[in-house]
């Protein structure tokens, strides 16, 4: 593979050919070149391309280009898509690589062009020289290389190779560390595997690890942020200097921040630190290892500008990783943070051995409190968002399988002997809980706003986690919830909500 | 306890006393009778009431009625509420027993009445004679005595005793069977326990088992239906003859029926068979045994007339069984049926060991298809309904803990060796699956309407359950789902949706 700097330097040397692949819809590549029934692009450089990227028909300069299966041509077209894209626009053709059926529909336009291979190459080489090295594909860079980023790299890499609108090479900024005496970035580039954070999962070869964040993001048109948000400040300052004008971003960072004015979304922080860049978000029921294994899942992209949402959808969409979109950045992002608070409640349920009814009720009440909180703090957030993967699906998965749930269950079973800090160290192997700090901040906001009474579950989870309230009090708190009925007797064996209030620190 | 027939016969013999309980709000019952600071009703019959129902202060005719705690007085007032309700109306007082603070607010009205105990009793006895035996409370009857009905009987019985608007005695129609040589109805009435269907759970003594359905429902103002819907035809004809004019009903029967015109709700069938009676429904994340044990849960009442919805809410509401209400009978009821279809999909996921992401996605997609189907077949069904216990919570519980999920998992693990009929017999101990027949009927409706393409999950579940499609095909089917993206490649190792279509019976 030729890296972009080299390709840029090579500039005019890159001459492409459009190979006319003649075929019927049902039997691609069976007809002779002289019958221009359909066409697919296959752009090849004059420098020898790495052999595995070229089907044998092209490697030896075979006169029977028609033997190249449509799919293979399409893939090569993907790798060299930027140049052929320019050519296509000069030819007033819609550039496409995704599907030879679609390419076929443009085939008739070639009927008045040369029909011999040499003729085609000559025509296209001339057009390529005229087009210079203008490159219309978006350059994609990934800021981060942990578990989640590494799980998505195979999809992003594949789509960049497959789709014209993206450049083939995807840079991934890797925080350089030594793994068994070697640089992690070198290991990734040689073995195409992040041996430290996602061993066993191969990356496509068009994903390149770059240890310098400025180099990784130089000229980027689309940035994928996937690092702990504590590091954003230093990183964003560098990225901002080098990103291309009009660059857009998508944040995969789950969590929210809080300042004196209340809740601050990571996407808002990012946008600010990147000089007002348009930032979308991607959140969903997405446990990293399951994505990496290729288990089917869904995700949700929340966008502000429809055009950017659609671009990001195409960048991540895959048959086994379906991307839904909703024009609602705060709704999607806040769901990703608040579900962790609800998962603590689900974990308390499990620790108390309360059974399915109670857990179902706690999850539903949690969803209602999430919805109430988010819609009151971010006017315009849609009900629809809560039906997306980022809403109900992520909540379910987190309440059954997530780390917040697990630690909360252990917290109850420890009967006051262990704090959440203890359990984090004991159970999470260096990872951090997001539910507990979020529960604390949400409590502070609600307290400051005088709205605690509208959030009995959130309030109760905070008091159990931080104020020594007994876990059973969660049920006492929600027993008074939501009903218009006249009764709200707390069963005797449970502590009352009032007694819990008294235990606040 | 005196049964209603006896009480009716006793008629004017029932003389009630209003006992003025003098108290301050903070220290109930500490002040002498002569200071009418607040008042609570305690209606006692001249016949001796069963000792446990009477606090010691009343049992001995103690002059220090003020020693009776407000709550206890309130409870006694509940048992004899019908008579005192009539008295209250004669006195132009709002009858209340729920809270002595509320009663207190009416206390001043008694200031011009007798302030001695004997004087109060004399006044009230006179009013009682005038009121004859008019009884404003609604007579509640339960049609059914299985597991679920028996789980709810303690709550219904308690609320009927507690609230004026209901008569104390609750009749429960029991299909008579012999249990160890005795009639089940007799066992229930003597031991206050349904030893056959819910052993170990005590019923309140005001719940009376009646083996004759006409006697059980005679004069009923509110009917609770909780029997397999196959039996409704014969039962409804008898019930219709004896129910009081203006009687309303609530159906706890989960499931739907289908006729040539499509889906028929049980509530619609019931209403028709009962001569147009107003029928509400109660559905939610309500596993019977967990309700019976007193695990916290929620439920949803779907109503048509607000007044009836509120009555039914009060009848079932309890601190550990919270009743939400929504003016949407079809939405609530159809959720209760369709969730079982989705649970089959969740079970297939489990059988395939697909992990949390996939299961979360299948549940979410299932919720979307439920919503789409219900809203297109019952215009007016609200989005809100799907956020209630009958919607998302019941779906979650069913997809993790229910019998449809369990059999579907076993179906996959059996690798084609067992049918759902086999598994029903093997795993369900005589209970029936509701998901499989519902999946079949839904498929027929969608097929007839030409809408199958909008329901890839429902379609796929049907084909796996009935047409021998491989379970993996469910993922292939939903992989094409909902995305606006251009790709829908089915991974090679999974069968394609097209190949599944070919396998239809």
pLDDT in tens, chain A (505 residues): 444 444 433 332 333 333 332 223 233 333 333 223 333 333 333 333 333 332 332 333 322 233 333 333 333 333 333 334 333 333 333 333 333 333 332 332 333 333 444 555 555 555 444 443 334 699 999 999 999 999 999 999 999 999 999 999 999 999 999 999 999 999 999 999 999 999 999 999 999 999 999 999 999 999 999 998 888 989 999 999 999 999 999 999 988 888 888 889 999 999 999 999 999 999 999 989 999 998 999 999 999 999 999 999 999 999 899 999 999 999 999 999 999 999 999 999 999 999 999 999 999 999 999 999 999 999 999 999 999 999 999 999 999 988 999 999 999 999 999 999 999 999 988 778 989 999 999 999 999 999 999 999 999 999 999 999 999 999 988 887 654 444 444 444 443 334 333 332 2
Cα(A351)–Cα(A347) distance, integer angstroms? 6
Other CB atoms within 10 Å distance of the CB of residue A312: 23
The whole-angstrom separation of Cα B330 and Cα B252 is 13
Q: Which of A479-493, B63-77, B134-148 has the highest mean pLDDT?
A: B134-148
Contact between chains at A296 and B392 (C-beta distance less than 8 A): no
Chain A CA closest to residue B363:
A393
Chain A: residue whose CA lies nearest to B488 = A319
Asked whether the predicted pLDDT for residue B1 surpasses 90, the reply is no
Question: Tokens 């998302």 belong to which residue?
Answer: B392
CB contact under 8 A, A322 and B99: no
Higher pLDDT, B309 or A130: B309
Distance from the Cα of A444 to chain B's closest Cα (Å) equals 27
Residue among A286, A329, A324 at smallest CA distance from B359? A286
B136 by Cβ neighbours in 10 Å (0-12 / 13-18 / 19+) ranks as middle
Pick from B325, B393, B482: which is nearest to A364 by CB? B393
Q: Is the pLDDT of residue B116 over 60?
A: no
Distance separating alpha carbons of residues B160 and A8, to the nearest angstrom:
83
A-B contacts at Cβ under 8 angstroms: 200
CB B352 within 8 A of CB B302: no
Instruction: Specify the pairing of strand B279-283 against strand B248-251.
Output: parallel
Strands A262-265 and A256-259: antiparallel
Q: Is the pLDDT of residue B113 over 50?
A: no
Inspect the interface and report whether the beta carbons of A387 and B388 lie closer than 8 Å: no
List the single best residue of A148, A360, A456 to mutate versus B (max B Cβ within 10 A). Answer: A360
CB contact under 8 A, A360 and B488: no
A-chain CB neighbours of B354 within 8 Å are 295-296
B144-177 burial, b at 16+ Cβ within 10 Å, e below that, comes to bbbbbbbbbbbbbbbbbbbbbbbbbbbbbbbeee
Please count the other Cβ atoms lying within 10 Å of the Cβ belonging to residue A442: 26
d(CA B71, CA B99): 7
Q: Which chain B residues touch A496 with a CB distance below 8 Å?
A: none
CB contact under 8 A, A485 and B355: no
Query: Looking at CA atoms only, how far is residue B99 from chain A in angstroms?
Result: 9
Inter-chain CB proximity A397 and B354 less than 8 Å: no
All domains of chain A in start order, with CATH? 4-131 (no CATH), 137-327 (3.40.50.720), 334-479 (1.10.1040.10)
Identify the residue among B94, B154, B296, B460 best suited for mutation to test binding to A, counting A beta carbons within 10 A and taking the highest: B296
As a whole number of angstroms, the distance between CA A320 and CA B230 comes to: 43
Among B287, B320, B356, B401, the residue to mutate for chain A (most A Cβ within 10 A): B356
Q: A-chain residues within 8 Å CB-CB of B367?
A: 387, 392
Contact A370, A390 (CB under 8 A): no
Three-state secondary-structure class, residue A246: coil
| Orientation of helix B329-351 relative to helix B456-466, angle to 10° | 60
Interface test with B, best of A319, A348, A372 (most B CBs within 10 A): A319
The answer to whether the Cβ–Cβ distance between B357 and A310 falls below 8 Å is no
Which chain B positions have a beta carbon within 8 Å of A323's beta carbon?
483, 485
Which residue in the block uniquely carries the two structure tokens 């009923």? B220
Strands of B260-302 (E only): list them: 262-265, 279-283, 297-302
Instruction: Spell out the alpha helix ranges (H) of B243-283.
Output: 266-273
pLDDT at B123: 53
Q: Test B365 with A310 for CB contact under 8 angstroms.
A: no
Which chain A positions have a beta carbon within 8 Å of B488's beta carbon? 319
Mean pLDDT of chain B: 76
Residue A232 structure tokens: 């954003």
**Angle CA(A446)–CA(B389)–CA(A285) in degrees, nearest 5?**
70
Predicted TM-score (pTM) of this structure: 0.73
From the list B282, B332, B333, B325, the residue with the least C-alpha distance to B307 is B325
List of chain B residues whose C-beta atoms are within 8 Å of the C-beta of residue A360:
285, 297-298, 389, 393-394, 396-397
Distance (Å) from the alpha carbon of A396 to chain B's nearest alpha carbon:
6
Contact list, A319 vs chain B (CB under 8 Å): 479-480, 487-491
User: Could you tell me which of B331, B349, B333 has the C-alpha nearest to residue B460?
Assistant: B349
Three-class SS string for A103-170? HHCCHHHHHHCCCCHHHHHHHHHHHHHHHCCCCCCEEEEEECCCHHHHHHHHHHHHHHHHCCCEEEEE
Do A77 and A43 touch, CB atoms closer than 8 A? yes
Cβ distance A482 to B324 less than 8 Å, yes or no, reads yes
Is the Cα torsion angle B83, B85, B89, B95 positive or negative in sign?
Answer: positive
CA dihedral A247, A251, A256, A260 (to 10 degrees): 0
Are A479 and B317 an interchain contact pair (Cβ–Cβ within 8 Å)?
no
Q: Do A285 and B361 touch (CB under 8 A)?
A: yes
Partner residue facing B98 (CB), from A313, A475, A487: A487
Give the closest residue to B252 by CA, choosing from B212, B302, B203. B302
- Measure B82 CA to nearest chain A CA, in Å: 19
Of B297, B400, B480, the CB nearest to A361: B297
SS (H, E, C) B377-389: HCCCCCHHHHCCH
Q: Which residue has the tokens 């028929």?
A: B264
Residue B331 has pLDDT above 60, yes or no: yes
How many Cβ atoms sit within 10 Å of the Cβ of residue A30?
11
Interface contact flag, A357 B297, Cβ < 8 Å: yes
Of A313, A387, A400, the CB nearest to B485: A313
Of A361, A392, A478, the CB nearest to B364: A392
**B493–chain A nearest CA distance, Å:** 12
Interface contact A480-B319, CB threshold 8 A: yes
Tell me if A483 and B313 make a contact (CB, 8 A cut-off).
Answer: yes
The C-alpha of B221 sits at a distance from chain A's nearest C-alpha, in angstroms, of: 20
User: How far is Cα A249 from Cα B180, in angstroms, rounded to an integer?
Assistant: 73
Q: Please give the C-alpha separations between residue A321 and each of A84, A201, B138, B478, B500, in angstroms, as whole numbers.
A: 28, 16, 56, 11, 22
Q: How far is residue B44's CA from residue B81's CA, in Å, rounded to a whole number? A: 10
CA distance A382 to chain B (A): 12
Check A387 against B365: CB less than 8 A apart: no
**Rg, C-alpha atoms of chain A:** 27
Q: Which of A290, A360, A371 sits opposite B356 (nearest CB)?
A: A290
Count CB atoms within 10 A of the CB of residue A113.
15
Is B364 in Cβ contact with A485 (below 8 Å)? Answer: no
Going by the DSSP 8-state scheme, the letter that residue B92 receives in this structure is: T
What gap in Å lies between CA A321 and CA A304, rounded to an integer?
22
Catalytic residue among B97, B138, B196, B339: B339
What's the confidence (pLDDT) of residue A181? Answer: 95
Q: Kindly report the nearest CA distance between residue B312 and chain A, in angstroms.
A: 10
Min CA distance, A60 vs chain B (Å)? 30
Burial of A386 (0-12, 13-18, 19+ CB in 10 A): buried
Question: Distance (Å, rounded) from C-alpha B293 to C-alpha B202?
Answer: 10
Q: Which of A122-126, B33-37, B213-217, B496-500 has the lowest mean pLDDT?
A: B33-37
CA angle B496-B498-B501, nearest 5°?
120
Task: Give the residue numbers of A marked as catalytic.
Answer: 339
If you count them, how many residues does chain A have? 505
CB contact under 8 A, A360 and B297: yes
Q: Which of A313, A383, A396 lies nearest to residue B396, judging by beta carbons?
A: A396
Q: Which residues of chain A are within 8 Å of residue B491 when distances are taken between CB atoms?
A: 294, 319-320
Q: With the CA atoms of B122, B124, B128 and B130 taken in that order, what torsion angle do they form, in degrees rounded to the nearest 10?
A: 80
Predicted confidence at residue B238, as pLDDT, reads 97
Residues B57, B46: Cα–Cα separation, whole Å: 16
Which of A23-32, B252-261, B420-429 is the least confident region?
A23-32
Residue with tokens 């009646």: B210
DSSP symbol at A220: -
Which residues of chain B make contact with A367, given a CB cutoff of 8 A?
387, 392
Dihedral sign for Cα B169, B174, B179, B182, please. positive
Contact A361, A478 (CB under 8 A): yes
pLDDT tens track for B338-358: 999 999 999 999 999 999 999
């Amino acid at each position: 593979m030729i890296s972009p700097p080299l390709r840029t330097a090579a500039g005019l040397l890159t001459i492409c050919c459009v190979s006319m692949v003649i075929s019927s819809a049902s039997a691609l590549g069976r007809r002779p070149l002289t019958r221009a029934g359909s066409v697919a692009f296959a752009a090849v450089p004059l420098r020898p391309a790495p052999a595995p990227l070229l089907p044998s028909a092209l490697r030896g300069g075979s006169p029977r280009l028609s033997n190249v299966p449509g799919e293979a041509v399409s893939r090569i077209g993907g790798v060299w898509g930027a140049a052929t894209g320019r050519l296509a626009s000069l030819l007033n053709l819609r550039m496409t690589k995704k599907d030879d059926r679609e390419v076929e529909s443009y085939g008739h336009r070639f009927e008045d062009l040369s029909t011999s291979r040499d003729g085609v190459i000559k025509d296209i080489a001339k057009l390529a020289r005229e087009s210079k090295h203008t490159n219309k594909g978006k350059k994609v860079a990934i800021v981060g290389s942990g578990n989640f980023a590494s799980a998505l790299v195979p999809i992003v890499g594949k789509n960049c190779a497959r789709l014209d609108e993206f450049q083939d090479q995807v840079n991934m900024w890797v925080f350089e560390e030594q793994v068994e005496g070697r640089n992690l970035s070198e290991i990734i580039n040689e073995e195409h595997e992040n041996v430290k954070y996602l061993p066993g999962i191969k990356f496509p070869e068009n994903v390149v690890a770059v240890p310098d964040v400025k180099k990784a993001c130089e000229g980027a048109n689309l940035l994928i942020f996937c690092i702990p948000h504590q590091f954003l400040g230093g990183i964003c300052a560098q990225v901002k200097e080098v990103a291309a004008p009009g660059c857009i971003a998508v944040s995969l960072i789950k969590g929210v921040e809080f300042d004196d004015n209340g809740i601050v979304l990571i996407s808002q922080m990012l946008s600010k630190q990147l000089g007002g860049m348009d930032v979308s978000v991607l959140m969903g029921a997405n446990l990293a290892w399951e994505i990496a294994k290729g288990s089917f899942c869904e995700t949700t992209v929340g966008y502000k500008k429809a055009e950017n949402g659609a671009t990001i959808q195409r960048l991540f969409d895959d048959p086994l990783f379906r991307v839904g979109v909703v024009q609602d950045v705060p709704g999607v992002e806040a769901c990703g943070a608040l579900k962790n608070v609800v998962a603590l409640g689900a974990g308390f349920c499990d620790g108390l051995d309360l059974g399915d009814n109670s857990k179902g009720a706690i999850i539903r009440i949690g969803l209602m409190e999430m919805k109430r909180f988010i819609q009151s703090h971010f006017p315009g957030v849609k009900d629809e968002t809560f039906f997306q993967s980022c809403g109900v699906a992520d909540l379910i998965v987190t309440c059954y399988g997530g780390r917040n749930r697990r630690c909360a269950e252990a917290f109850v079973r420890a009967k006051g002997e262990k704090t959440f800090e203890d359990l984090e160290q004991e159970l999470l192997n260096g990872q951090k809980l997001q539910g507990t700090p979020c529960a604390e901040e949400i409590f502070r906001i609600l307290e400051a706003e005088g709205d605690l009474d509208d959030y009995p579950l959130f309030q109760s989870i905070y008091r159990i986690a931080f104020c020594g309230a007994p876990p059973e009090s969660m049920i006492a708190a929600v027993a008074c919830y939501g009903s218009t009925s006249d009764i709200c007797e707390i069963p005797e064996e449970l502590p009352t909500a009032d007694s819990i209030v008294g235990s606040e620190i």
